[in-house]
Amino acid sequence: MASWVGMRNRATPSQVDAVARAVRSTPVIDHHAHPILKAEALSKHPLLALTSEAHGDALHSATSSLPHLRAVRQLASALGCGFTWESVVAAIEEKRLECPEDWTAYCLAGIETILVDDGLDGQDDANAYSWHDDYTRSRCKRIVRIEKVAADIIRRLGNAYREFPQTGYVFDEAFDQWTEEFDKCITTSLDDPDVVGFKSVVCYRTGLDVPNQLSNVHETAARADFKDIIANYARLDFQKLQTKSLNDWVVHRTAQLIRDNPSRQRKPIQFHTGLGDNDLVVPKSSPSHLQDFIRAYPTVPIVLLHAGYPFTRETGYLASVYENVYADIGEVFPCVSQDGQERILREILELCPWSKILWSTDGHWFPETYLLAVMQMREAFETVLCDYVRKGHIGWRAAVDLVRDVLFRNANKLYHLELEFAELEEETRLAHGSSLSHVELLRAFLKNQPTPDFVRICWNDYTASQRMRMIPFRKFRSLLNEGKPTDIGITKAVFGVIQNDWLLPGVAATGEYRLHPDFSSLKKGPIDGHISMAAEFREQSGAPVPFCPRAVLQRAVEFGAENDLSFLIGFEIEFLLVERVEPKTGNTTRYSTLTTDGHAWSVSRYFADPKISALLRDMVSTLEDMGIYVEQLHAESATGQFELILPPYPPVEAVDTLLHTRDVMAALATAAGFKMTLHPKPFAHACGTASHMHLSLITPTGSPSDGNKPEVYQPFYAGVLKHLRAILAFTYANPASYERSSDSTWSGGRWVTWGTQNRETALRRVDGSHWELKCLDGLANPYLAVAAVLFAGAKGAADKEPLIWGDCEIDPARLTANDRKELGVTQMLPGSVEEALAALREDAELVELMGAELVDRYVALKEFELKFLSEMGDEERRQWLMERY
């Protein structure tokens, strides 16, 4: 019964999507931030301060912090520049020169209003709080920093005394004058509609251990310390209140004036707590020190800023047990890592009612601080809250209320702003690259396009057969608009069938997976009137299916990230155009080579054929219309053979794009009267056809060039070579693959080795750029093939695997025995599918990485497929495979 109740309480995908949509569409009341610098002052402050509170030399170490590396990636994506800090800085400087107003508007998109603390040092370099009105939906308001008010008055009194020192100067009267002027400033602010609150930085000055009341002893100490400052003002470089008695006095006077103000709308005091620069005394920055002060002023609203980090639980506790206390969770975005931000959000929600939680950017100096804070907050909120909803910890409607309260309503009420809540427009959310709901993604995708007829939801099975389910667009749109799931039930036998749907013995057509489309993979085509999405399989509960190839590749990418690596992958698509022929009696031949004049590698004459030329042109232009920009196209060696080169993408997107591109090309070839085949060796006398993979390694610096450093690539590719014999079970997955695999034919050869610019090695290092895997063809499931390579390489990187193979500079088939020994070339690649499957079974490490369940099923299915294919004659099998690939 318990498990049934748990299942009943789980949210549907559409309900989870509603929560995600609320996170993306809720405007932010930024209740604590600082002004942006004037254009002429931007260069006075280091951009490195975007993600760090460090100063001086310590700031330079920020470049090796997780928050900085994440910010580089996000800013690079927003700016469309290289993934290095140097590229980001250059791009920001270019934005400042081109149109700073547009860039600032981009950075502040999604913010309803900003409550600006304008008391930072360097105020003359900063814009006034009202300047920010041009970039927010509602007018900005002001937060008065009380220590600055107090220090300004002392500075004026001290300067007057220094210029005209008086005999018999009465310091007590001066103290009373200081107090009176301070009181007047606070009282005026209480009546000023543009001032919505106050801010104390006593945490920085003398600590949060403020006494619960001011006694005569405290007043005596304050008067004495005031006298010391004024009397010695001529030799003091007074800038800030650094004396405990005076700081405590200022905080109490402010609280008393708020408490005694006749207005029922009491304005809050914000306290800096936790996270800060090296002025801070960390033990005294815990908000727990304020407990007695909080008790002393139960009617004064108190906001604990910055989640009190690292004292987050203390912050949440105080907000939960005192009616007048509120917990802010700003500044940790973007100054803490992604995992840390999610943990902070979970910790604050452990105990604290969300009606007491506020959010802010703590943006300052640079517009980019606002951009990063908002982007990262939405990511963390979506991850944490959608997870809670999926697990049934909170209902989806409650989660939507939580988002709107924390980001908008709580601050609107606390600061008496009286703003109307209105969701952000789609354009605003897209401005930050915010992920949209499925409805919004589809709407944005179809903007300025004709309404399609069908939606394809696609997957690639263990035989590399591209399969799909097709839904009429009107039905699909209705499901989305009604908030119903768009996933499809597919039999669990899906990973137990071969090309002709024969079922693997032991696998039954019982049970059902859910096929979930990935809306981020939306593409036009492959034919007019169709749009397509890649999809992943999940259990009915939403859990990942261990057999799903796309999910395995996602897991491999995550494993790489755990080992500080990310990847860019580009594919070459070698393909052969053949003509269909009518089979004669007793002859099963269906395809023949094209009739051409002297076809050869990279020749130009072939493009003189108007029919071929038109088809190749249409392939490139059609793909370009879909956002897939072909990098090169040329003739290959076999008659009718060509190669089309795709741009690099992250791994999952790269494979999605590869499969979609093949479908587009095949459809266009068919429409033009040809058959396109990926068969690795369709004609024994001609060169074979591959699907080479180009791979760039990217380290946490975000720089692809770092992947060319030996300390980076050597352990990674050592891992690949160590497991290459087993990897071949996924990359050369059909008997036809081994018809192409041979020495001295530019196909990657038969040996486990690598070489710089050597096309006879399985791994080719492209000097100064990236690496190419040559032992991959179009009969492999590319999700599984890429996953195997990434898992093996990332494992090598994690284990610091030594590269025991030397750089092979000649055809390895021509090495002498002594040469092989020196270069570590001791193993040959498998010569058949059976041998490759045996190597995979024996590779316990790769089996564990890929998943034992998946490997067992994959090997069993491949053996079943082999038995089926072995019963055909060579020509029958060749024709049968050409029909399907």
Note whether 603 and 462 are same-domain residues.
no
- Which has the closest alpha carbon to 512: 533, 534, 495? 495
* Overall average pLDDT of the 103-119 stretch: 93
Which pLDDT belongs to residue 142? 96
How far, in whole angstroms, is CA 885 from its chain's centroid? 35
Is residue 535 within 8 A of residue 518, CB to CB? The reply is yes
Whole-angstrom distance, CA of residue 100 vs CA of residue 116: 20
Which pLDDT belongs to residue 444? 76
Helices (H) and strands (E) in the chain, counts: 32, 23
- Which has the closest alpha carbon to 676: 526, 798, 790? 526
- Which has the closest alpha carbon to 615: 648, 578, 589? 578
Bridge pairing between strands 488-491 and 512-517: antiparallel
Note whether 382 and 449 are same-domain residues.
no
The pair phi, psi for residue 627, each rounded to 5°, is 85, 15
Per residue in 436-449, pLDDT (tens digit) is 567 777 877 887 78
Which pLDDT belongs to residue 770? 86
Stronger pLDDT, 16 or 416, i.e. the higher one: 416
At 756 the three-state DSSP class reads strand
Neighbouring residues of 81: CB distance < 8 A, sequence distance ≥ 6: 87, 88, 90, 91
Is residue 785 within 8 A of residue 776, CB to CB? The reply is yes
Record the tokens describing residue 851, joined without a space: 């998943």
Which pLDDT belongs to residue 6? 40
The pair phi, psi for residue 675, each rounded to 5°, is -115, 130
Note whether 687 and 726 are same-domain residues.
yes
Whole-angstrom distance, CA of residue 424 vs CA of residue 766: 47
Structurally, the chain folds into a number of domains equal to 3
Note whether 197 and 346 are same-domain residues.
yes
Per residue in 861-880, pLDDT (tens digit) is 999 999 999 898 888 888 88
Which pLDDT belongs to residue 723? 95
Note whether 699 and 789 are same-domain residues.
yes
* Overall average pLDDT of the 350-358 stretch: 96
- Residue 321 in this model has a pLDDT that exceeds 70: yes
Which of the given ranges, 19-28, 236-245, 352-361, has the highest pLDDT on average?
352-361
At 370 the three-state DSSP class reads helix
Q: Per-residue confidence at 195, pLDDT binned at 50, 70, 90?
A: very high
- Residue 293 in this model has a pLDDT that exceeds 90: yes
- Residue 9 in this model has a pLDDT that exceeds 90: no
Burial class (CB within 10 angstroms; exposed 0-12, middle 13-18, buried 19+) of 828: middle
Note whether 580 and 530 are same-domain residues.
no
- Which has the closest alpha carbon to 111: 321, 476, 419? 419
Q: Look over the chain and give the mean of its residue pLDDT values, rounded to a whole number.
A: 88
Handedness of CA 604, 626, 449, 669 (dihedral sign): positive
Whole-angstrom distance, CA of residue 390 vs CA of residue 94: 43
Bridge pairing between strands 754-756 and 763-766: parallel
Which pLDDT belongs to residue 853? 93
Note whether 382 and 504 are same-domain residues.
no
Residue type, 795: K
Is residue 788 within 8 A of residue 720, CB to CB? The reply is no
Which residue do the tokens 């352990």 mark? 715
Whole-angstrom distance, CA of residue 222 vs CA of residue 205: 15
* Overall average pLDDT of the 8-25 stretch: 76
Least confident of 184-198, 546-560, 742-756: 742-756
- Which has the closest alpha carbon to 380: 313, 319, 335? 335
Which pLDDT belongs to residue 7? 38
Residue type, 849: L
- Which has the closest alpha carbon to 688: 676, 679, 698, 701? 679
What are the angstrom distances between the C-alpha of 215 and each of 223, 248, 541, 611? 13, 11, 63, 97
Q: 3-state SS of 305-367?
A: HHHHCCCHHHHHHHHHHCCCEEEECCEHHHHCCHHHHHHHHHHHHHHCCHHHEECCCCCCECH
Which pLDDT belongs to residue 547? 93
Which of the given ranges, 215-219, 457-461, 682-686, has the highest pLDDT on average?
457-461
Q: Per-residue confidence at 175, pLDDT binned at 50, 70, 90?
A: very high
Least confident of 72-86, 436-450, 520-534, 842-856: 436-450
Ranges assigned E (strand) in 498-565: 512-517, 523-524, 530-538
At 762 the three-state DSSP class reads coil
- Which has the closest alpha carbon to 123: 366, 305, 365? 365
Instruction: Give the residue numbers spanning the domain of 762.
Output: 554-884
Which of the given ranges, 323-327, 387-391, 691-695, has the highest pLDDT on average?
323-327
Burial class (CB within 10 angstroms; exposed 0-12, middle 13-18, buried 19+) of 465: middle
CA angle 453–618–589, rounded 5-degree value? 90
- What is the enclosing helix (H) or strand (E) of 653? helix 651-671
Whole-angstrom distance, CA of residue 205 vs CA of residue 240: 8
Beta-carbon count within 10 A of 611 CB: 12
Note whether 422 and 540 are same-domain residues.
no
Which of the given ranges, 639-643, 684-688, 697-701, has the highest pLDDT on average?
639-643
Beta-carbon count within 10 A of 298 CB: 12
DSSP 8-class letter at 115: E
Buried b (16+ CB within 10 A) or exposed e, 12-40: bbbbbbbbbbbbbbbbbbbbbbbbbbeee
Q: Per-residue confidence at 8, pLDDT binned at 50, 70, 90?
A: very low
Q: What number of CA atoms fall less than 13 Å from residue 729's CA on the CB side?
A: 29
Whole-angstrom distance, CA of residue 486 vs CA of residue 242: 62
Bridge pairing between strands 693-698 and 754-756: unpaired
Q: What number of CA atoms fall less than 13 Å from residue 497's CA on the CB side?
A: 16
Per residue in 273-282, pLDDT (tens digit) is 998 887 778 8
The pair phi, psi for residue 756, each rounded to 5°, is -75, 125
Whole-angstrom distance, CA of residue 734 vs CA of residue 209: 73
Q: What number of CA atoms fall less than 13 Å from residue 509's CA on the CB side?
A: 4
Stronger pLDDT, 583 or 499, i.e. the higher one: 499
Beta-carbon count within 10 A of 267 CB: 24
Which pLDDT belongs to residue 875? 83
Whole-angstrom distance, CA of residue 455 vs CA of residue 529: 9
Which pLDDT belongs to residue 445? 81
Residue that finishes a domain, picked among 545, 572, 589: 545
Neighbouring residues of 3: CB distance < 8 A, sequence distance ≥ 6: none
Which pLDDT belongs to residue 426? 67
Which pLDDT belongs to residue 638? 76
Record the tokens describing residue 162, joined without a space: 């220094």
Note whether 397 and 264 are same-domain residues.
yes
- For residue 334, whether the previous peptide bond is cis, meaning omega lies within 30 degrees of 0, is yes
Note whether 447 and 346 are same-domain residues.
no
Which pLDDT belongs to residue 639? 81
Which pLDDT belongs to residue 255? 96
Whole-angstrom distance, CA of residue 568 vs CA of residue 73: 14
What are the angstrom distances between the C-alpha of 548 and each of 224, 465, 535, 791? 75, 14, 10, 16
Note whether 146 and 51 are same-domain residues.
yes
Q: Per-residue confidence at 702, pLDDT binned at 50, 70, 90?
A: low
- Residue 756 in this model has a pLDDT that exceeds 50: yes
- Residue 99 in this model has a pLDDT that exceeds 60: yes
Residue type, 842: E
Burial class (CB within 10 angstroms; exposed 0-12, middle 13-18, buried 19+) of 755: buried
Q: CATH no. for residue 536? A: 3.10.20.70
- Residue 838 in this model has a pLDDT that exceeds 90: yes
Q: CATH no. for residue 223? A: 3.20.20.140
The pair phi, psi for residue 233, each rounded to 5°, is -60, -30
- Residue 794 in this model has a pLDDT that exceeds 90: yes
What are the angstrom distances between the C-alpha of 451 and each of 407, 417, 522, 627, 678? 36, 43, 14, 18, 32
At 632 the three-state DSSP class reads strand
Residue that finishes a domain, picked among 506, 521, 545: 545
Which pLDDT belongs to residue 807? 87
Whole-angstrom distance, CA of residue 283 vs CA of residue 525: 61
Neighbouring residues of 557: CB distance < 8 A, sequence distance ≥ 6: 566, 567, 650, 651, 652, 790
How far, in whole angstroms, is CA 499 from its chain's centroid? 36
Whole-angstrom distance, CA of residue 94 vs CA of residue 117: 28
What are the angstrom distances between the C-alpha of 435 and each of 294, 383, 483, 522, 651? 40, 12, 17, 13, 19
Q: Find the helix packing angle between 724-731 and 710-722, rounded to 10°.
A: 70
Residues β-bridged to residue 675: 578
Record the tokens describing residue 756, joined without a space: 């710089």
Query: Between the CA atoms of 363, 368, 374 and 375, what dihedral angle is there, to the nearest 10 degrees?
Result: -160
Residue that finishes a domain, picked among 401, 431, 461: 431
Q: CATH no. for residue 733? A: 3.30.590.10
DSSP 8-class letter at 569: E
Note whether 558 and 410 are same-domain residues.
no
- Residue 744 in this model has a pLDDT that exceeds 80: no
Least confident of 8-22, 407-421, 714-728: 8-22
Whole-angstrom distance, CA of residue 129 vs CA of residue 115: 8
